[in-house]
Each structure stands twice: as C-alpha cells, then as structure tokens.
Chains A and B, each alone.
Chain A
C-alpha cells in the first residue's frame, strides 16, 4: 500500500512568466509505509522540489500528490468539517528536516524548540511533555532537554531538528540534504538516528542526498536527473557506474574499486557494495 503517491507530477517555478523553469517533469512514484528510500541527484536535478511537494509546501503544476489518501492540492472547506485543512493533515503525516540546522531552531531552550510543533497543533500540555521526552530519547539527546541549541555541534543541532519533527509524530520523515553541512561525525550521528527510527519505530524515511555512501543505507534508491526519474532500484543500480557519472553522480568507492579490478581481469561476483563484501571476494 503506498503512503505517498506521485501521479504524473510536474512542477515549474515562476509558472506563467518568462522565467518559467520546469523543475519536475511527469514523475510518478510511490512510497510505502516503513520504507527507507534514498532520493539522489546532482544539484538542480529536482530533489528538493520533490521534498517540498511531499508535504504540501509546493503544490504540483500538474498531476497529483497524495499522502495517506489526501490530495495535497485539495481545497480547504470542501470537507464537511470547516476546521479540516488538508495541508495541516498532510504536514502532520510528513515532516521535513532541511539542510541548515541553524535555520530550523525557533527557541532558545531545547525543550521549547521541540514543543513548538505540537503546541501549534494544539496537543495537550501533558502529552507535549511526553512527546518531547520521547523525541529527545529517540535522537539520543535526552540529557540536553533544558540546554540551549546554540552551543551544540552541527550534528547535535540536526538531531534536535529531527526531534522537533518527531514530536509531531509524523508517519514519514523527509530529510532534504540534512547531512550536507555536517562533519563526518555529525553525519554518522544523524544516519544512525535515521536507521534506528526506521528499524525500531517503523518510521518511513525519505533521505535526499548526494552522498552515495549514505544512499547505501536505503532499501530503495531513486535517482533523479533533470527533473525525471532516471533509475530506481536496490543497490544493484551502483553497477551502472558509467551512467551515474554521466549524470554527475559518483559511484560508491567500493563499487568503483570492484569495477576497476574486474576491468583488470579479476573475477569478482556482481553487486559488491560493502567493504566486507569486497575484502572477502578479493581474499577468496
């Protein structure tokens, strides 16, 4: 059952003006609950536009985006309940974490920052407190509840931003290059949190990245190029090294080394993506 669905979605910036740029061209995709999907593409390939379409920050120029059966472009008030706002419903389900952790902090005390989202949704105070505890625990930052976000490292700040989204209890987390500005330690902290959320909390994760090594953590990889889906599949897509480099993307180092060894006549099994796999294949 797909939770997020794109049916022939296109999106253009500055629609109807001379500067119109088509960012997304006729994309159809479907993401099921519990999946860990990586969305990869070079700068300008349309990845971030897809993220913004997923939670209704952008509405498609044509085609439809549905989240848990709700059309993101649905007009408010068509439903019987006049308080029902489809965009709110979508955003309760899909949380987005952006690139720069400093731009996502709204309060000077960490617990206030994390409570900001649920407060806006009118969650009762007692429950907010529970959610803050849970969210901080989930990102491994329980000890920092009364601290300030401004003295944290980049990786810690980004984990606080993730906790802020978690406190909304979304069903899907979209991370729009959330590791791009972090150092290697910060990056692996964030990746560990994501893998744990996906495994233990059954959170659906959509990871937008241009780090190929991060994409290896995903169960499915979607590669965008010039606003279209160029490839889709499991790790086996990294065997298509030549096509990937043509799209301005790297191939994970392990795959590259395995390819070069094969080219020099070594007999290695297909589909090597991890260091262990390479080592055992070479040593054999």
Chain B
C-alpha cells in the first residue's frame, strides 16, 4: 500500500491576480506500514498535498500512484480510491450531519451500496474501534456528544470505509490535553488493527516527533526534506532556516548539550531525555558517561 508522488505541482486561481503556487515539484515515497508525518507552516501546502491523496484535488501536473492505482487517469474509480484512502479533515466533527451516530457512521458504506448486514457489521466495528460504546451511543444524536466523543464519532465514519491508508489533518487541534492524548492513542490503535499506513499533518512538534517514523517538511510549497524525527530535529541550522521549532524535549537536550552535558542532541522522547540526563548526571549506571563528561570538562578547562 505504498504512495508514490512524482513531481507534483499545483497552482491555485491560475492566471488570476490571486495565482498561488501551492505545491512545486514534490516527489515523495511513503512506504507501506509507515507512520508518515508532514509538517510546515500555515500556507506551506500541507493540506493541498494530502487532498490529492484521495483525489479531492485533481492532479494538475505530476503523478501519484497509490498501490498501483494511477491517480492521473481521467476515469478514476473514486469508490475504490476512497475506500483505500480515508481522510480525516481538521475539525472532522463539523461534518457530522445525521440524526443518530449509527446512521452518520453508516453514510460511507451505504454509498458503496454494500448489503445492509455488511453495513451493520462495519458500523459496529468502526464505533468500537474509536473507543465508543456501540449499544450506548448508536441511537444518540451526534450533536449531543462531548467534543472529544464527536471527533471520535466522525473518525468512525471514515473507518467504516475500512481504508488501508488513513490521512489525518491536524487531528488533535482544539482538544484539551486529555482529548489529545485519547486521540493519539486511538490513532496508534487504528494503525495496529486497521490502517497499516498513516499520514498525519501536525503543527505540534512534540506530538509528531513522538509518533512518526519519518517526517516531511514542506516550505513554501516545496519539499524541504524527509527525515526520521531524531535526525530532523537534531539539525539546528536546517530548522532555523525553515523556521521550525524543535520539540521542547529536543530543545532541552540541545540546551544541555550547549552547557557541556554529553546528551544526544537528537533526543525526541521525554523518557529518553530523562534517561539521557540520568546517564550523564546520575550516580551508578552513569559512570561511563560521567567520565566522558569529566573528560569534556577537562578539555574545556584547558
């Protein structure tokens, strides 16, 4: 289920005073089973890029192939594509519309004209997957739910299509810390059980650093780089050039390293940071690192 993007470019409002080059010559390969992160400033082209993945935005120039399916072809099998690639937009709860949660979630599979029994199975599966109680919630209005529940119900509507690739555009925006944590855990659960490949846009560096296998950085419509988080966030000059903030954990690690402590500058995980600090500062297990630190100090003092 790989995604291959070749030389993709896109221009909004072409030949008008508002012409804007949203994407310029993007080439990317997203592996099967990967958790792929996309970051970049507002207006960098992130959403335009992912909207191409299920042909909401049609290709102007370049090529996208998803699991062998060529998205440039004129007579695209939209049903097949959209049951392969599921899209969770920003604030997906704004798209809830039906009278009951079960009916809302069933909208996708019903449009696929699946038999009723199959629809029922998928609806139950999707609602349970997002951690809601099916029996309790199926006949309730989606508008009565709490903010976090609404968002999960909306994600269930996407999962009912049983997509193999799930694309999420800033799935935690606007949620409180508990809601954020729940959604991130949910995404990992979905990845383990249903959608092998996840593509996620985020503005939260801490979040994306902790989850993604690789991160693509978009900058003014161009692909600036694709790197694993530990590598990306340890390149301070590159980050400064792209005006991207480090995850706070990495920033702390870098400040400690600046102060002469032998911690790895590419640390992105909180526990890894704690271990790193204990390794060089704590007693016991930190002897080796401790002696390295002393060596460094001696060198510096000379």
Binding site for B on A (CB under 8 A): 42-44, 99, 153-154, 177, 180-181, 183-186, 210, 212, 248-250, 253-254, 256-257, 260-261, 264-266, 275-276, 278-280, 282-283
Contacts and interface: CB of A to CB of B under 8 A. Distances in A.
Contacts of A177: 174
B111 interface: no
A218 B249 CA distance: 23
A261 B277 contact: yes
Contacts of A265: 282-283
A183 B281 CA distance: 36
B41 interface: yes
Contacts of B203: 183-184
Given A279-B256, A282-B277, A180 B174 contact: yes
Contact of A257 (B178, B179, B260, B273): B273
A253 B206 contact: yes
- B-side interface mostly: helix
Contacts, number: 89
A254 B256 contact: no
A252 to B, nearest CB: 9
A154 B178 contact: no
Contact of A279 (B205, B245, B259, B274): B259
B251 interface: yes
B184 interface: no
Interface residues of B, number: 36
Q: Sorted from nearest, which 5 A-B pairs have the closest CB atoms?
A: A248-B178, A250-B177, A210-B176, A42-B176, A283-B259
Interface of B: 41-43, 146-148, 173-179, 203-206, 245, 248-249, 251-252, 255-256, 259-261, 270-271, 273-274, 277-278, 281-283
Nearest to B255: A279
Given A180-B174, A260-B271, A261-B274, A43 B252 contact: no
Nearest to B259: A283
B248 A254 contact: yes
Contacts of B249: 253, 257
B293 to A, nearest CB: 10
A266 B282 contact: yes
Given A185-B42, A186-B42, A257 B259 contact: no
A186 to B, nearest CB: 7
Contact of B42 (A154, A254, A283): A154
Given A153-B43, A257-B273, A248 B177 contact: yes
A261 B263 CA distance: 14
A148 to B, nearest CB: 12
Count chain B CB atoms within 10 A of each CB in A177, A180, A184 and give the residue with the most: A184
